[in-house]
A = this chain, B = another copy of it.
Amino acid sequence: MQFQLTDEFIEQVEVLIAKNDGDGLKALLHDLHFADVAEILHELDTDEATYIVKLLDSEITSEILIELDDDFRERILDQLTPSEIADELDEMDTDDAADIIAELDDHVQKQVISHIEDDEHAADIVDLLRYDEDTAGGLMAKELVRVKETWTVAGCVREMRRQAENVTRVHSIYVTDKQGKLKGRLSLKDLLTAPGKAHISDVYIPKVDYVTVHTEAEEVARMMQKYDLEAIPVVDDEGILVGRITIDDIVDFIKEEAEKDYQMAAGISEDVEADDSIWHLTRARLPWLILALIGGFVSVSVLGTFSGAMNDHRELFFFVPLIAAMAGNVGVQSSAIVLQGIANNSLKGSLWKRLIKEILLSLLNGFLLATILVVGGMLVLGLTFLFGITIAISLISVIITASLIGTFMPILLDKWGIDPAMATGPFITTSNDIFGILIYFTIAKIILGF
């Protein structure tokens, strides 16, 4: 039942475009879901994709455009006239239309808006452009079904049928007072089962979760997940119902945030994909590599100050990458767990308890790893006992330090209002490299005396 995109299919599409066979192309794409057509467009070049967008009905192409990657969509829109873009926006929900129009240049924006046929739709889109994209105002759509508490159920059903025309999916019917203030909600199910003469004020559910236009997107996502909501109404500062956010937008938001966090942990500071340009990829990756390089410089200097050890204890230097790797890995593990706790709001208990727990955990891990290291090192590499003890104490100390840095760096950053996700990846590994080496050689100096 599911469409599978093949190279042959793409070729077929490209041949039809080259032959300028619009009818053949329409027939070929007719039965496909818009998300599948969007996938096909991503395999074509801009001119070919634009050809298809101009060819198909704007009822379908408006949906396709929403699915495309931002960059690719921009390139296609560049080839459309303001009036053609307006036709597409006419078919979109206000939230999607506002997102797309926000990507256009200022003067094109004005032209496009002037070409939108439905004045109310245009006004709604312009209104949405005011909000920051990371707030509920930036996520919401204006389309919703609203009824007044004074109406009867029968009148409500009539009105609902009218309003539902403009709303792709009806999740909930929102009840307002005469001034438009949000009072509660009504499910379609309730509407189907209530007697026609009943007043809405008698049947609606006055408890309703809502957010304001200023609520942060992250908080909206958290609420919708926690309370299993499929849509949430948005009110302005006066409590007037101004829009609603649906779960599909939140699903996209959650995915994007998870990808950003993942990339941040890997030391990639902009949202990139494997198929982005080399320049774009470099811009996202280079800053973290420079940070690691500077950290590397510091470690070179630290090692330089201990160069005296090279005469009698050259094996010390062979263990440097091992110590650095353990410090880096432990730090990343600790910080990842704490970061997820911060993100899920599930970190409980006092900092002291956490401190003691991390130390115990590191002692346990450190002791087990040090045993393996010393036994392996003495048997396989023929280390002396004193050297083995040096390595073991260093390893345990480094693991404790690394796990404490990994645990408390994100907590501190979060307290100071800095995104704690910054703390993972290159930042933690680099600082733990340096501290690890410093601790290792200091302990070695004390025990071995050089």
Which A residues contact B (CB, under 8 angstroms)? 1-2, 33, 35, 42-43, 157, 160-161, 164, 169-170, 187-189, 192-193, 209-210, 223, 225-228, 230, 247-248, 250-252, 254-255, 258-259, 261-263, 265-268, 272-275, 278, 281-282, 285-286, 288-290, 292-293, 295-297, 299-301, 303-304, 307, 310, 314-315, 317-326, 328-330, 332-333, 335-338, 340-341, 346-349, 354, 357, 360-361, 364-365, 368-369, 372-373, 376-377, 380-381, 424-426, 429-430, 433, 437
Contact = CB atoms under 8 A, between A and B. Distances in A.
Count this chain's copies in the assembly. Answer: 2
- The main secondary structure of chain A at its interface with chain B is helix
Given A247-B247, A268-B333, A289-B369, A299 B274 contact: no
Contacts of A300: 318-319, 321-322, 377, 381
B288 A333 contact: yes
A329 B288 CA distance: 8
A187 B171 CA distance: 11
18 contacts: A1-B210, A160-B192, A225-B255, A230-B230, A230-B247, A247-B248, A247-B251, A265-B266, A274-B354, A281-B337, A281-B361, A282-B365, A289-B329, A289-B330, A289-B333, A299-B321, A304-B318, A329-B426
Contacts of A347: 274-275
A265 B265 contact: yes
Nearest to A276: B337
Contacts of A377: 297, 300
A152 to B, nearest CB: 16
- Most B C-beta atoms less than 10 A away, residue of A161, A262, A323, A333: A333
Q: Which 8 A-B pairs have the closest CB atoms?
A: A296-B322, A266-B336, A258-B258, A274-B341, A303-B318, A299-B321, A300-B318, A317-B317
Contact of A275 (B35, B258, B325, B346): B346
Nearest to A271: B340
A406 to B, nearest CB: 10
Given A265-B266, A326-B293, A433-B325, A188 B170 contact: yes
A442 B431 CA distance: 28
Given A274-B354, A282-B361, 9 more contacts: A265-B266, A273-B340, A278-B357, A286-B368, A288-B329, A299-B322, A300-B381, A303-B318, A328-B429
A340 B381 CA distance: 40
